[in-house]
Structure 1
Amino acid sequence: MPNQTCIRILFVTVFLLTVPALIFAQAEPGVSRSLAKERAQRISNIRYDLVFTLKEHADTVAGTATVEFDSESAGDLLIDYRDGALHSAVFNGQPISTQLDHGHLHLPAQAGHNILKAEFSSNAAPAGKAITRYEDKDDGSEYFYTLFVPMDASMAFPCFDQPDLKAQFTLSVEHPDGWTVIGNTTARRIDGAHTRFDASRKISTYLFAFAAGPFAAIPAKIAAGPTIYVRKSQLQRAEQEAPQVQSIAARGVGYLSSFFAQPFPFPKYDLVLIPGFPFGGMEHAGETFLNEDSVLFRTAPTPSDYFRRNTLILHETCHQWFGDLVTMRWFDDLWLKEGFAQYMAYKALADLEPASDPWKHFYQDIKPAAYGIDETLGTTPIYQSIPNLKDAKSAYGAIVYQKAPAVLKQLEFHVGSEVFRNGLRLYLKQHAYANAEWNDLIKALEQAGSSLHSNNAADLESWAQAWIQHRGMPEVNVAWSCEGGKLSTLTLSQQDVLPDGYTWPISNLVDLHFKSAAQSNNKQIRVDWNTPTTSITEAVGQPCPVFIFANAGDQAYGRFLLDEKSEKAAATEIVDTPVTQQDPLLRSMLWGALWDNVHLAQSSPRSFVDHAMAALPHEPDEAMTRVQSARITTVLHSYLSEEARKSTVPNIENVVADRMLHAPDLALRIVSFRAFTNIAETPQALDTLKKLLQGQITIPGMPLKPLDRWNIIGHLLLMNDPDAQSIYSTEKEKDHSGEGQKYAYAVASGVPGAAVKARYFEQYLHDASIQEDWITQSLRPFNAWNQSALTQPYLAKALDSLEEIKQHRKIFFLGAWLSTFMDGQNTLVASNAAQLQVHQWLQSRAIDADLRLKVLEAVDELERTARIQQKFPD
């Protein structure tokens, strides 16, 4: 009989050797940075062979995945899969447990080559899922599309769902007969119900995608133009827009290929118009998905609308290089793709269509959103530390989409255009089909600067540390004096807009503006500085200027304020001087500086409106009219008392209505119509809107489109016009289109009734059948400016739902949710109570840090409104 002690020792030894391979440490939800680093160091040569089966009206999508990879070592390895059912898993020829551990499957990996074969069913739904199912209410057709950014590929199939584990994808789709499937690569149609795609180049999981349904194809008629795919019910409308869209995309590919000295990185390029898409676009490798509404205009378009569409298309096209060819290693460097795509879109248009004045649009459409966030306590650095990819959605917002491109504009000015271009070329060449971090870009720029002997590019790391890794921005003030008709002193000072006390390196142009119709007589002086104050000795002895503006050309990033003397002179200049004698960009920036003084409660809102209204009847610039109208609307609805608003609004209505009907340019009439629809308040103005609907009044050259009509009806509803309900019912009965049903749902949320608000809020949170774009469209009328008493009870409830929204909604939904519920309380009556309520909520809730920042960011406007109202009560 064997020795019992020896047997026990042998048993314990074997148990200790085998248990680590059988019992795994518990995983945590999401993809942590530590897990990502471990996997990136361990595995390589990843290949996915995926098969999906799509069935109409199905809530799930069945699939199989064959995942091959090499592992440097043996041991437990996590692969990601969540929000679905894993039916079987065979790993290296042996069945393994399909039990999921916080969204992960444990793999007993071996050193060398490994193969996982899995069968699964993933969820599909109208909203909140990685696979979206869309019903076309125009013809009853159904469409599927995927959206995996930032880490939702693992909701659709088992994968290593992190951006730095690039892989080769092969896709097969079983689908209803006659459907078209669009993927990252060229499709090989096996039969009417089976489509297989060529293997892709190496891409990140979030860049893999497909769309399927009875799409119609619009081939390009120009060389290098992309094919456009659109749902068949919208083919006629898409055919009208396709030539211009395909042209700008093809020209963009040519421009960017030349600028980057790198050919288009993928074998083909398609544009897929997606109905109800939650973003403007998404840059899947070789196939960009575009929001259908961003391409097929639902209202009468203006040149600015076409401009925005062009920048959208160029933005997504640039991503094929910045994001797809070279991908950030982790989502804390999200700006490496979004900031560059945004900046290069404007830069490309500056060369391709300079007459559209891209840099003026850049200042008007990019800078305000960046500044508006960066002055709040909720702001973050451009580089945002993200410990787990489940929190990566919070990185999306104005900091990466608006501040990052604005800082890149300053970077190019700082180092020079040649260094900037050569650095980007080097960066793309060094990291093609791989991943990079922000310091890789800085090194490439420094290397390019060294070859060109650029002093400003010699130490970019400290410059980048300041602008990329610090939050906030400088506020720059100007002090100057003259003696004997000559400048005697000129000093710039900067201070942090936040209590952090940081000092930035700044490169800017100071404009000395003389009283002369010849703008070339003005003097511009470049200043490179990184101190709290700097004296500009070069300016001493120049003729005494009428005013000084410290950010000519919009090269620098920060809040550049007008001193008291310059404020008065600039206001007179831009109102009294003929527009043809003014520089468009400088003029736009001076209006922006005047608005900044209102924004900071340093100047009266009424005074700004007076100046704006003096200029508006003669304003020839459609984009400027749009911007000024929005500012005037903000003053009316947020900064003025009810008495002051009611005394002011009739004159504004009259001026805007006259421009709507009689402005010499169609674009001016269109933007004036939009402004009038937002501000109409008196019975006479509301009557004008009704006459527009009835055709008794017409806008020359602008027949009303369905969305124009629904916008009018929505305004009549929220203003509680006595005829609004009957007009709404008539229009709803008449417009049975899919878009009409969406608009009817959205505008009805603005009906001023407690029961209406209760019903909609319940649907927002608990009705999964309502598509996300329907909800997004309805949030603003729900939170109408004149219904703060009705919506106040929902502010705390909206805050309570933030964690659920962050987990289940798409990236930008949370920002829209927060901003609209805050805006609904941004009035004289409500703002003080609302900000107190929000801060009490913050003190009583243990929410994660990034959500807390989002709330602080959103509540800032309530606090600002209260300050303005306190200082300027009338």
Structure 2
Amino acid sequence: MPSLTLAEARERADLVTVTSYAVDLDLDRGVEVFGSRSVVRFTCTTPGARTWVDVHARTVTSATLNGRALDAGDLVDGRLPLPDVAGENELVVEAVMAYSHDGQGLHRATDPADGLDYVYGHLFLDAAPSVYACFDQPDLKAPYELTVLAPEEWVVLGNGAATREAPGRWRLAATLPLATYFVTVCAGPYVSVTAEHDGIPLGLHARASLREPLERHAPEMLEVTRQSFDYFHDLFGIRYPFGEYHQVFVPEFNAGAMENPGCVVLRDQYLFRGAATRDELLGRANTISHELSHMWFGDLVTMQWWDDLWLNESFAEYMSHRCLVDATRYTDAWVDSSIVRKVWGYGAERSPSTHPVAGVEALDAQSALQNFDGISYAKGAATLRQLISFVGDDAFIAGVRDYLSRLAYGNGTLANFLGAIERASGRSLEQWSRAWLLTADRDTLSVRLTEQGGVVSDAVVLRETPQRHPADRPHAFDVAGWTDGEQRLGLSLTVTDAETPVPALVGNPAPAVVVPNAADLTWARIRLSDSTIDALPAQLASVPDAQARAVVWSALLDGVHGATVSPDTFLEVFHASWPHETNPSLLTRVASYAEHRIVPWFVPRERQAGVRSALAESGRTVLEQAPAGQTASLAAARLVAGTSDDESLLRAWASGHDLPEGLSDDGDFRWIVVRNLAGRGLLDDEGIEQFRSRDDTLQGSLNALLCRASRPDADAKAWAWEQLTGRHGRSNYEMVHLARGFWQAPDDDLVAAYVPRYFDDVPAMAGWVGEDALSRVVESAFPVVFSDATARLSAAALERTDLSPGVRRPLVDCDSELREVLASRRAFAGS
């Protein structure tokens, strides 16, 4: 179906003002379809004009405009024409809609643990018309009233407070003005934990089979919710305006969470069934705070068009980390950001698909979805930290309050926001915004030190601007250096030139390790000196600043991807430093990068078995010395479980014997072991099924699919590929898990025949898989066969003109990563 264009949205917004929606949903019609009745009241500036309403229905059974019947046969490509519109109008559309299984629209999933069904609405970015008839664009906000008919045993939740009026009949309280993509309904036999804070009713909800982890984790999640409410109320000076606040943990959710006002939906993997590391808890806390901050940035004030997506995501990304540091126990949230969020964002920046933080011309809605990435999140947050350095925190917060107050319940633009900051600070942001917001790519920062007799004799900070996207960005950051754990230098500065002499560093003892941007205040490629890289195996573990260590690890990862740092160098630093790491985020994430990215991508296939054994040995070292049940021991156990070639150990752990403390009844840990066994050909389908029967849950079924796809057997690969690319009604999660396991193989020969098939079979799935879900399949299923032949096929695919946006963008990014791997292998072939 054609995507709404910016020109069309502007034309319709000039014509139409929506005054209210009344939506009635019938969710008691079986497992395939539901009923939808929409009453839309709107005014028109030009009576007699013609426009359209968006409806993606299986069948439109009735449609009237001001009592006049409309011909449902005129519905084309999801658009129902509205001829001869009056000044004031009432549109009534009754339709039969289809449940989705790809995480978009009204998604319905069955929990195999008990056979119960759950429904949730995820209407981002343009899925609202698959649930109700609407004028689907973010600047046509209106209040909503919803009624829902559901099976009697179901609970119904939504944007407004839900009241059960009769068995199976629910009414949701009228809302304040909302954008169409924020409307949601969650319905099913959800179980709940309720509370209250500062007069705001709170609710946490999940599938019945997740009652135990929901109740176990509820106190922690409610604490973060309360702390975030207090922090944002004080920071923004505006109380939360949307009534009750529910957080619903739903199955098969495409994203981390969605900020629907009053009813946030989150992926239910956040309800950790087994042991959780501290960084996993921090990540969940960050998501909770992130979505709550959206109640102001995105919900109260909504972007006018999708090209200002950053007004939602960059702010929520920044504000959630700020809140965690200032108001919760997760005071190391910026360390986590450095090794998780910024690594993600730097990857997006390296790709040919890189784009500016703001001002990206989104000519239609679907093209805007492709910029929903680490640049809009992580780079945007880093840019806001630079803005604060430029204007001062007091002026920044004053401008934020001005922006939110002036545009409450309406829509905002980049110009609106910058105007508010300029009024508060008295400074022009024209040049600053052109460099930081409106120009893509990043600068490279490095330090050139000259020493004599162990003392710094000259110091210069270098700023290199990218040739393909030149900009004059001022950088406020710091430089720090250590030797044997002792800080030898530290200085904050602002760089505005290609070369900036730093006389304050002269005369200091020359440090073994020098880290530009050690506090990670700016956004840049950090180039470590050769001498620093050489010193890292002996020195990194003794650097006492976790934030600086995170910057070093990020720079090493960036260097491996950029073919300036050998993967062997990364692994050498890993084996020397990781066993001594104390920060939870660095412990778990760096180990994950080593296991799941550095080894399978950058290490040649013939060397991978030996390198994995070395990773397992490092894991055993930590496991032997770390306190039982703590993050270090959990991270180490997971690394051993995923990389060890010790069959007797793996079989014992899979059977529940001799497990590390805290993992005796941890089904998710068991699946790491089972996948390792399956990938080595040590389990057949029957053996995998035995483990699935012990974990007869949604997650257990998904893990079983991944393990079956991982088996090094031609028949297993043929089955997995057909299940992935055929029309079997597989859910979005099932497709991703099949894709994740498929390319695991002892050699390229087993899967080489599927490389050309990928470029035909996966794009063809656009015919039945939604764009959001398909983009994840494209990425997960991209061939892990790194060869010039694969690169030629990938390049040829990108020449095609029939690729949908949800296929093309992730394919561009995957192609770029393929070429990074090939460049690295060429650069370090002899190492």
Please classify the TM superposition score into its range, dividing by the shorter chain length: over 0.9
Unmatched 5+ residue regions in structure 2?
none
- Contact 2:708–2:720 (Cα < 8 Å) also in 1: no
Please list the CA deviations of residues 528-572 of structure 1 after superposition, one character each: whole Å capped at 9, or x if unmatched.
Answer: 31x433333554555545443321211110101112233334553
- Counterpart pick for 1:423 among 378, 392, 399: 399
Q: Give the equivalent residue in structure 1 for 2:660.
A: 699
Distance in 1 (CA, whole Å) between partners of 2:432 and 2:797 is 38
Cross-structure match for 1:548: 514
What amino acid is the match of 1:699?
P
- Residues 381-407 of structure 1: CA distance to partner in whole angstroms, max 9, x if unpaired? 223322112433322222223222222
Mapped partners of 2:767, 2:408: distance in 1: 33
Taking the aligned partners of 1:854 and 1:735, their CA distance within structure 2 comes to: 33
Cα displacement (A) at 1:428? 0.8
Asked if 1:636 corresponds to 2:592, the answer is: no
d(CA) in 2 for partners of 1:478 and 1:238?
49
Q: Distance in 2 between matches of 1:392 and 1:514?
A: 44
- Name the CA shift for 1:603/1:276 in 2 (closer, same or farther; >3 Å): closer
Rounded Cα–Cα distance in structure 2 between residues aligned with 1:358 and 1:326: 26
1:140-219 matches, cutoff 5 A: 140-219=115-194
Contact 1:510 1:548 in 2 (8 A): no
Query: What secondary structure is seen at the aligned counterpart in 1 of 2:41?
Result: strand
1-side partners of 2:452 and 2:428: how far apart?
A: 39
Letter in 2 for 1:327: T
The answer as to 2:447 corresponding to 1:495 is no
- Which residue does the alignment assign to 1:597? 559
Letter in 1 for 2:209: S
Q: What are the Cα deviations for residues 739-767 of structure 1, in whole angstroms up to 9, with x where unaligned?
A: 32232223211122333333333333333
The verdict on how the C-alpha distance between 1:332 and 1:807 changes in structure 2, with shifts beyond 3 A counting, is: farther
2:373 to 397, 401, 415: 397
Task: Please tell me whether the aligned partners of residues 71 and 109 of structure 1 are also in contact (alpha carbons under 8 angstroms).
Answer: no
Q: Which residue of 2 aligns with 1:41?
A: 14
In the TM superposition, what are the counterparts of 1:771-790 in structure 2 within 5 Å? 771-784=731-744, 786=746, 788-790=748-750
Partner in structure 2 of residue 667 of structure 1: 631
* Structure 2 contact 335–547 (Cα < 8 Å) conserved: yes
Cα offset, 1:727, TM superposition:
3.4
**Which AA in structure 2 matches 1:381?**
P
Aligned to 2:50: 76
Moved more, 77-86 or 149-158: 77-86
* 1:464 shift after superposition: 1.7
Q: Secondary structure at the match of 1:559?
A: strand
CA distance in 1, matches of 2:382, 2:35: 44
Code of the residue aligned with 2:493 in structure 1: it is R
Looking at structure 1, the residues matched to 123 and 196 of structure 2 have their Cα atoms a distance apart, in angstroms, of 32
Equivalent position amino acid for 2:823 in 1:
R
Partner Cα separation in structure 2 for residue 742 and residue 491 of structure 1:
53
8 A Cα contact 2:102 2:731, kept in partner: yes
Q: Is the 8 A contact 2:755 2:783 kept in 1?
A: no
Tell me which residue corresponds to 1:10: none
TM-score, normalised to structure 1's length? 0.89
Q: How far has the Cα of 1:65 moved from its partner?
A: 1.3
**Are the counterparts in 1 of residues 196 and 202 from structure 2 also a CA contact under 8 Å?**
no
Q: SS of the residue aligned with 1:220?
A: strand
SS in 2 for 1:218: strand
Cα distance in 1 for partners of 2:106, 2:482 equals 60
Comparing 398-407 with 337-346, greater Cα deviation is found at: 398-407
* Aligned residues of 1:84 and 1:156 also touching (Cα < 8 A): no
- The one of 290, 293, 304 equivalent to 1:315 is 290
Letter in 2 for 1:604: S
Give the corresponding residue for 2:616.
653
Aligned to 1:85: 59
Aligned to 1:131: 106
Structure 2 contact 537–577 (Cα < 8 Å) conserved: no
- Deviation of 1:415 after TM superposition, in Å, equals 2.5
Counterpart in the other structure of 1:834: 790
Q: 2:23 matched to which residue of 1? A: 50
TM-score by length of 2: 0.94
Q: Are the counterparts in 2 of residues 838 and 859 from structure 1 also a CA contact under 8 Å?
A: yes
Q: In the TM superposition, what whole-angstrom CA distance separates every residue of 1:771-828 from its partner, at most 9, and x where no partner exists?
A: 2222223321122264543334334443335655567545653443233333622xxx
- Report whether the alignment pairs 1:857 with 2:813: yes
| Superposed displacement of residue 494, structure 1 | 3.0
- Secondary structure, counterpart of 2:588 in structure 1: helix
Residues 696, 194 of structure 1: CA spacing in aligned structure 2 closer, same or farther, 3 A cutoff? closer
Selected match of 1:612 from 549, 574, 583 = 574
In structure 2, distance between residues paired with 1:844 and 1:117:
42
- 1:134 deviation in Å? 1.6
Q: Return the letter of the residue paired with 1:513.
A: G
- Which deviations, in whole Å up to 9, do the C-alpha atoms of 1:411-441 show, x marking residues without a partner? 2233322222222111111111000112211
One of 417, 433, 440 as aligned partner of 2:409? 433
Report if the CA contact (8 A) 1:279-1:812 is conserved: no
Q: Which has the larger radius of gyration?
A: 1
Q: Does 2:557 match 1:557?
A: no
Separation in 1 of the partners of 2:809 and 2:111? 38
Task: Provide the rounded CA distance (Å) in 2 between the counterparts of 1:232 and 1:851.
Answer: 35
Contact 2:248 2:265 in 1 (8 A): yes
Which amino acid in the other structure matches residue 652 of structure 1? Answer: L
Which residue number in structure 2 is paired with residue 118 of structure 1?
93
Deviations 1:813-845 (A, max 9, x none): 3443233333622xxxx3332222211322355
Alignment partner of 1:341 is 2:327: no
Q: Which of 718, 724, 747 is residue 707 of structure 2 equivalent to? A: 747
> d(CA) in 2 for partners of 1:332 and 1:674?
41
Q: 1:355 to 1:772 in 2, by over 3 A?
A: closer
Q: 1:103 to 1:87 in 2, by over 3 A?
A: same
Distance in 1 (CA, whole Å) between partners of 2:800 and 2:163 is 57
AA paired with 1:659? V
Question: What does residue range 260-659 of structure 1 map to in structure 2 within 5 Å?
Answer: 260-294=236-270, 296-354=271-329, 356-383=331-358, 384-450=360-426, 458-482=427-451, 487-497=456-466, 499-513=467-481, 515=483, 519=487, 522-529=489-496, 531-540=497-506, 544-575=510-541, 577=542, 582-633=544-595, 634-659=597-622
Q: Deviations over 1:139-168 (max 9, x none)?
A: 222222211111111112211000000011
Structure 1: unaligned runs, 5 residues or longer? 1-27, 451-457
Residue 87 of structure 1 aligns with an amino acid whose one-letter code is: T
Shift of 1:270: 0.8
1:712 aligns with 2:655: no
Q: Distance in 2 between matches of 1:158 and 1:639?
A: 49
Identical-pair percentage: 25
1:104-140: per-residue Cα shift (whole Å, max 9, x none)? 1111244421111221111113336512122222222
Q: Is the 8 A contact 2:601 2:784 kept in 1?
A: no
How many Å separate the matches in 2 of 1:244 and 1:122?
38
Question: What is the RMSD of the two structures over their aligned residues, measured on CA atoms?
Answer: 2.5
- Give the aligned residue type for 1:636: V
Question: Taking structure 1 as reference, are residues 724 and 290 closer, same or farther at Cα in structure 2, changes over 3 Å only?
Answer: same
* Structure 1 counterpart of 2:782, from 805, 811, 822: 822
How far 1:280 moved relative to its partner? 1.5
How has the CA–CA distance of structure 1 residues 88 and 726 changed in structure 2, closer, same or farther, with 3 Å as cutoff? closer
Tell me how far apart the structure 2 counterparts of residues 522 and 492 of structure 1 sit (CA, whole Å).
Answer: 14
Partners in 1 of 2:104 and 2:486 — Cα distance? 59
1:679 to 623, 643, 663: 643
Distance 1:492 1:195 in 2: 64
Deviates more, 1:736-745 or 1:241-250: 736-745
Give 3-state SS (helix, strand or coil) of 2:143's partner.
Answer: strand
- Number of residues of Structure 1 aligned to a counterpart in Structure 2: 824
| 1:381 to 1:808, Cα distance in 2 relative to 1, 3 A | farther
- In structure 2, C-alpha distance between the alignment counterparts of 1:399 and 1:238, rounded to whole Å: 32
Following superposition, the deviation at residue 726 of structure 1 comes to: 5.3
